[in-house]
Amino acid sequence: MANGSRLAAWEFFGAELRRRREDMGLSQAQLGALVFVSGTYIGQFEQAIRKPQMDLAIQFDRILETDGIFERLYHKLIKDQPYTEYFAHVAELEQQATEIWQYAPMVVPGLLQTREYAEALYLVSNPFATDKYIEELVTARMDRAQLLKDATRPAYWAVLHEAILRIPVGGPEVMARQLDDITTLVRERKALVQVMPFTAGPHPYMGKLLTLMEFADAPPTVYTEGVLSGNLLDEPAVVKRARASYDLIRAAALSPEASLALIKATAEDYRRCASTT
């Protein structure tokens, strides 16, 4: 399902939620109180600004007596999108964000990946998959990465652990091109990138991807990811703590100028390695 079609489908979800809520004589605030979210959130669901989680879809069915329609719609919409269920909402929110801040410990973040780098990652994770399946995954990843190329792109700031630069995903040539691509994004001021050096020692969120997102008309969110799992949270206290941790990470990282120099030097190392093999 194309992005436009998915948006239209979520808009239908929201319109149906509003119709059923009004049929029950409930305000947004009243329905929100019954499912333990704010009335503002209900309004954002109805306008397709935000997508509810599965547990909320089930609660909507129970409270509005809709015989499972919202659960079925949710399953259909999640099935028809190219991302894993735990990441689907994050991918949607990236398109709406005005600012995205990320820390990545081991792998180049998806928004910065080249096609070859992404393909190498998917192949090692899916050794028995068909070429068609791998191509679908890579295409979805490249569609996401296009966000930083768009004129309306969000302000993007990433801190990459030095381990990312040193792990030769796809081999020296692939890594050289990946690091060159990051360098180009930085030079074109489409991204601000810092490197957390090995010498920085321990730091917050070791081993975990951290993503903070800001929006023009919705509360900020924090997303953390582990193995085959992810947590998307928007409780103000949690977001505040995550932002404080991110500030510590940025402070411990190399300056943007020193980071760019290291990225460029590492790309050259990979090129020399490729030329001798």
Which letter, b or e, does each residue of 68-92 get, where b requires 16 or more Cβ atoms within 10 Å of its Cβ?
ebbbebbeebbeebbbeeebbbbbb
DSSP 159: E
Question: SS3 for 161?
Answer: strand
Question: SS3 for 174?
Answer: helix
Q: Which among 211, 234, 224 is positioned nearest to 44, based on CA atoms?
A: 234
Tens digit of pLDDT at every position of the chain (277 positions): 445 556 677 788 899 999 999 999 999 999 999 998 888 889 988 888 777 777 888 899 999 999 988 888 887 776 555 566 667 778 888 888 999 999 999 999 999 999 999 999 999 988 888 898 899 889 989 988 999 988 889 999 999 999 999 999 999 999 999 999 999 999 999 999 999 999 998 887 777 899 999 998 888 999 998 776 788 888 899 999 999 999 999 999 999 999 999 999 999 999 999 888 6
- Domain 85-110+149-275 classified CATH 3.40.50.970? no
DSSP 199: G
Q: Which residue has the tokens 């995550």?
A: 242
Angle of helix 54-64 relative to helix 28-35, nearest 10 degrees, comes to 120
**Which residues have C-beta within 8 Å of that of residue 246, sequence separation ≥ 6?**
101, 103, 159, 204, 210, 212
> For residue 6, what pLDDT is reported?
61
Question: SS3 for 7?
Answer: helix
CB of 228 closer than 8 Å to CB of 192: no
> For residue 228, what pLDDT is reported?
63
* Domain spans, the chain: 3-79, 85-110+149-275
> For residue 245, what pLDDT is reported?
93
First to last CA, the chain: 43
CATH fold for domain 3-79 = 434 Repressor (Amino-terminal Domain) (1.10.260)
Identity of the residue numbered 38: S
> For residue 7, what pLDDT is reported?
63
> For residue 89, what pLDDT is reported?
74
